[in-house]
Amino acid sequence: DAGVIQSPRHEVTEMGQEVTLRCKPISGHNSLFWYRQTMMRGLELLIYFNNNVPIDDSGMPEDRFSAKMPNASFSTLKIQPSEPRDSAVYFCATCGKWDHADTQYFGPGTRLTVL
Amino acid sequence: GESVGLHLPTLSVQEGDNSIINCAYSNSASDYFIWYKQESGKGPQFIIDIRSNMDKRQGQRVTVLLNKTVKHLSLQIAATQPGDSAVYFCAENMAGKLIFGQGTELSVKP
């Protein structure tokens, strides 16, 4: 198995631009999580999906952030418009059964820099 | 102005020694705990987990101990190697969400 796949691995953009991060979960995993990691705040959960349905988006910082999971094999996290304070590493993680406390497996992350 | 980042606790050990990394969790109702290892430039990697009905679980060179009375979790690494150098996070499961600790940086001296 290739594991969780994220793209791009690095993104540099200018303030005000739209940014789209992508995630392909491990095949068969029903739950998908988006995290943000910064030196200031550590690892924060932004939103998670179960069977493609958003369950909890209370961690999404602002309306500028949105996430979708149109099917079981793909999810996007979009920031529009982006701001310098959005600069962070964004991780996608997936697991088999979120409500059974299954192990989450993380992707390699996307390092976002907003100038 | 200058930004202030998290000041990670740091543990420095000699190669070959045993390492013990500690973690305090917040919710007595948490039923599942995981230790992750994060190397520079990579995503967190699963090491070992333990459920709340257990006190101890062993893996290859790693042992996790759970003390529910004081809400404390520890990770023991036997015969620490340079490749073990990384940031280690504990995480507790609360209603399907993982809540991560701030992490401990392990540095292994050759």
Residues B93 and B102: their CA atoms lie apart, in Å, by 15
B contacts of A31 (beta carbons < 8 Å)? 96
B contacts of A36 (beta carbons < 8 Å)? none
- Residue A109's region, left for phi above 0, alpha for psi from -120 to 50, else beta, is left
A5 touches chain B (CB under 8 A): no
In the numeric block, the tokens 């504990």 are attached to: B90
Give the containing element (helix H, strand E) for A21: strand A19-24
Residues A77 and A79: their CA atoms lie apart, in Å, by 7
Mean pLDDT, range A41-52, rounded to an integer: 92
DSSP symbol at A73: T
CB B82 within 8 A of CB B108: yes
A109 touches chain B (CB under 8 A): yes
Q: β-strands B72-77, B62-67: how paired?
A: antiparallel
* Residues of chain B below pLDDT 70: 1-7
B40 touches chain A (CB under 8 A): no
State the pLDDT at residue B81.
96
Residues B86 and A64: their CA atoms lie apart, in Å, by 33
Instruction: Express as a percent the part of chain A with pLDDT over 70.
Output: 95
How many degrees, rounded to 5, is the angle at CA B34 between CA A66 and CA A79? 10
Q: Which of A3, A6, A35 lies closest to A21, judged by CA?
A: A6
Among the ranges given (A55-59, A91-95, B91-95), the one the predictor scored with the smallest mean pLDDT: B91-95
Residues B102 and A19: their CA atoms lie apart, in Å, by 27
Count interface pairs A-B at CB distance under 8 A: 54
State the pLDDT at residue B6.
56
Facing B43 at nearest CB: one of A42, A50, A108? A108
**A40/B3 CB distance under 8 A:** yes
Residues B47 and B19: their CA atoms lie apart, in Å, by 14
